[in-house]
């Protein structure tokens, strides 16, 4: 198929490269000239394991190109909308200006028979208004909604081997044409038996925000249990393990700690609440307000713990923060819990040094007042307290005996319940974690597999 991908951020760049890898002729249209040029050289403008290689191999076949010129859209027959829908400044609602601008550009180049496929996460009802724009400009074009469930850090795998595909289709011939085009695009993925859910436009839009809301709720649920554990001296990691064995609950996405951040879950649950309000069903999602509140409280709790550890005040104290990205294997710092904690501690006068394997450049740009170090040793040198806030594998695997040589006091706060408390305690560190007793009563609990 001849495919265009409109908007080459995390979603679009990965989608373009993966569609070319499936054998299609793909052009990525990216309004930012520099980004388009970088992508055309086979470099991802962000950290995503495996993407550079895939871009380069696909570019080499001649089946993938990137351009900042909208005219390239004219050659494609299937157009994927992959632009961002960030949170509006000062509001919960999603900013749809990029989506509308993308569609306005696209409709200029549509031909009869073209299929426009929305992938951006949008408030339910948006696809219907895009359909109006498309059919007004080109009555013989079709619209479908095909939400994306990729996770940063695993984006290539999630695109080429997704858990499921969802098509939101219009009724009648328009839907049939869109379905045929999508089946052709995803042929190799469908051939592997990937489940496919075909539904209408509004349900498809809802599926995406429902999925992210459920994931956010799961995380906040276990973090609410962490609050209880802190009040009762219980161990939230053992709670997660024990309830997670019930297949109806499941252990995945039940890792207690600093909570969720990033460019998706926080803004998606807020936009969902805003949309529910517009639809007059805000009560249905009032629990998401609590999900959000629990999530934010974990960050404050982390700062409180740091203060407790430092005897009531962190002013002037040397504190090392391991992790800046919102999660490991990403350089994304949007709504990063780690940087939020680092900033709060800095505002309270602490002498904070942050390190991260991939997100330092982004973090430096956004938080010019914070201090950064390229290496763990550089960050922890002379520290009175070390905070693990993003569970990069290289931090989880740190040797506490070795690290002890660099710090002023061996005290660690584990914001992700990712370190082995027994090993760290045995190495002479004072270990505390969110949702666990000061010294782990039962270190065996820890050894249970962290999925």
Within residues 295-334, the interface with ligand UGA by CB under 6 A covers: 326-327
Nearest approach, Cβ of residue 268 and ligand UGA (Å): 6
List the x/- string, 78-117, binding to ligand UGA by CB under 6 A.
----------------------------------------
Nearest approach, Cβ of residue 168 and ligand UGA (Å): 16
Of residues 22 and 237, the one with the C-beta less far from ligand UGA: 237
Of residues 254 and 419, the one with the C-beta less far from ligand UGA: 254
Q: Name the token pair of 35.
A: 């980004």
Nearest approach, Cβ of residue 74 and ligand UGA (Å): 29
Contact in structure between 134 and 114 (CB atoms under 8 Å): no
Sole binder of ligand UGA in the list 212, 340, 344, 362 (CB under 6 A): 212
Of residues 212 and 217, the one with the C-beta less far from ligand UGA: 212
* 125: alpha, beta or left? (left if phi > 0; alpha if psi -120 to 50): left
Number of CB atoms found within 10 A of residue 439's CB:
12
236 Cα distance to chain centroid = 24
Nearest approach, Cβ of residue 403 and ligand UGA (Å): 22
Q: Name the token pair of 2.
A: 């001849």
336 Cα distance to chain centroid = 10
Nearest approach, Cβ of residue 416 and ligand UGA (Å): 7
Sole binder of ligand UGA in the list 121, 205, 217, 353 (CB under 6 A): 121
| Residues in binding contact with ligand UGA, number by CB under 6 A | 21
Number of CB atoms found within 10 A of residue 351's CB:
17
Of residues 8 and 76, the one with the C-beta less far from ligand UGA: 8
Within residues 136-175, the interface with ligand UGA by CB under 6 A covers: 148-152
> HSE (CB half, 13 Å, CA atoms) of 51?
30
Of residues 59 and 339, the one with the C-beta less far from ligand UGA: 339
Place of tokens 């044409």: 177
Of residues 25 and 152, the one with the C-beta less far from ligand UGA: 152
Nearest approach, Cβ of residue 394 and ligand UGA (Å): 16
| Cα distance between residue 84 and residue 26, in whole Å | 20
Nearest approach, Cβ of residue 261 and ligand UGA (Å): 4
Of residues 303 and 314, the one with the C-beta less far from ligand UGA: 303
Nearest approach, Cβ of residue 151 and ligand UGA (Å): 4
| Cα distance between residue 182 and residue 24, in whole Å | 12
Provide, for the chain, the percentages of residues in helix, strand and coil under a 3-state DSSP scheme, each rounded to the nearest 5.
Answer: 45, 15, 40
Q: What is the C-alpha radius of gyration for the chain, rounded to an integer number of angstroms? A: 23
Of residues 346 and 392, the one with the C-beta less far from ligand UGA: 392
Within residues 236-295, the interface with ligand UGA by CB under 6 A covers: 253-255, 257, 259-262, 264-265
Sole binder of ligand UGA in the list 18, 64, 178, 219 (CB under 6 A): 219
Which residues does 440 contact at the CB level (< 8 Å), separation at least 6? 235, 421, 422, 425, 431, 446
Contact in structure between 398 and 425 (CB atoms under 8 Å): no
Place of tokens 């993938």: 64
Q: Kindly give the pairing relationship between strand 196-200 and strand 165-169.
A: parallel
Nearest to 118 by CA among 105, 109, 131, 108: 131
> Does 12 contact ligand UGA by CB under 6 A?
no
CB-count exposure of residue 136 (10 Å: 0-12, 13-18, 19+):
exposed
**Element of type H or E holding 312:** none
Helices and strands (DSSP H and E) totals, the chain = 19, 14
* Catalytic residue ranges: 264
The residue length of the chain stands at: 451
Applying CB under 6 A, which residues contact ligand UGA? 121, 148-152, 212, 215, 219, 253-255, 257, 259-262, 264-265, 326-327
């Amino acid at each position: 198929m001849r495919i265009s991908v409109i908007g080459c951020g995390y979603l679009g760049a990965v989608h373009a490269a993966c569609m070319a890898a499936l054998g299609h002729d793909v052009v990525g249209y990216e309004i930012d000239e520099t980004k388009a040029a970088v992508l055309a050289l086979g470099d991802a403008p962000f950290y995503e394991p495996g993407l550079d290689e895939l871009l380069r191999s696909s570019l080499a076949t001649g089946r993938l190109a990137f351009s900042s010129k909208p005219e390239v859209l004219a050659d494609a027959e299937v157009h994927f909308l992959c632009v961002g829908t960030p949170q509006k400044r000062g509001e919960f609602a999603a900013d749809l200006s990029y989506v509308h601008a993308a569609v306005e550009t696209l409709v200029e180049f549509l031909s009869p028979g073209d299929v426009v496929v929305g992938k951006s996460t949008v408030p339910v009802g948006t696809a219907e208004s895009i359909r109006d724009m498309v059919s007004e400009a080109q009555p013989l074009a079709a619209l479908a909604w095909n939400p994306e469930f990729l996770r940063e850090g695993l984006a290539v795998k999630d695109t080429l081997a997704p858990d499921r595909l969802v098509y939101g289709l219009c009724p009648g011939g328009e839907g049939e044409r869109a379905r045929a085009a999508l089946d052709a695009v995803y042929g190799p993925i469908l051939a592997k038996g990937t489940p496919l859910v075909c539904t209408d436009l509004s349900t498809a839009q809802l599926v995406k925000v429902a999925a992210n809301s459920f994931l956010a709720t799961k995380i906040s649920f276990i973090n609410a249990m962490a609050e209880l554990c802190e009040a009762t001296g219980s161990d939230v990691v053992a709670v997660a393990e024990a309830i997670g064995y019930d297949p109806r609950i499941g252990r995945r996405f039940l890792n207690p700690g600093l909570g969720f951040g990033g460019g998706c879950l926080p803004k998606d649950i807020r936009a969902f609440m805003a949309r529910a309000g517009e639809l007059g069903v805000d009560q249905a999602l009032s629990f998401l307000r609590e999900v959000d509140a629990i999530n934010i409280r974990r960050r404050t709790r982390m700062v409180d713990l740091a203060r407790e550890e430092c005897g009531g005040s962190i002013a002037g104290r040397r504190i090392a923060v391991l992790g800046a990205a919102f999660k490991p294997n990403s350089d994304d710092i949007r709504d990063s819990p780690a940087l939020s904690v680092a900033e709060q501690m800095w505002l309270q006068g602490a002498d904070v040094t942050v390190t991260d394997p991939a997100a330092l450049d982004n973090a430096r740009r956004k938080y010019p007042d914070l201090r950064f170090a390229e290496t763990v040793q550089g960050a922890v040198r002379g520290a009175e307290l070390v905070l693990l806030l993003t569970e990069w594998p290289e931090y989880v695997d740190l040797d506490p005996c070795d690290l002890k040589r660099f710090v002023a006091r061996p005290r660690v706060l584990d914001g992700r319940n990712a370190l082995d408390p027994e090993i760290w305690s045995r190495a002479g560190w004072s270990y505390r974690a969110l949702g666990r007793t000061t010294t782990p009563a039962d270190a065996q609990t820890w050894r249970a597999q962290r999925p």
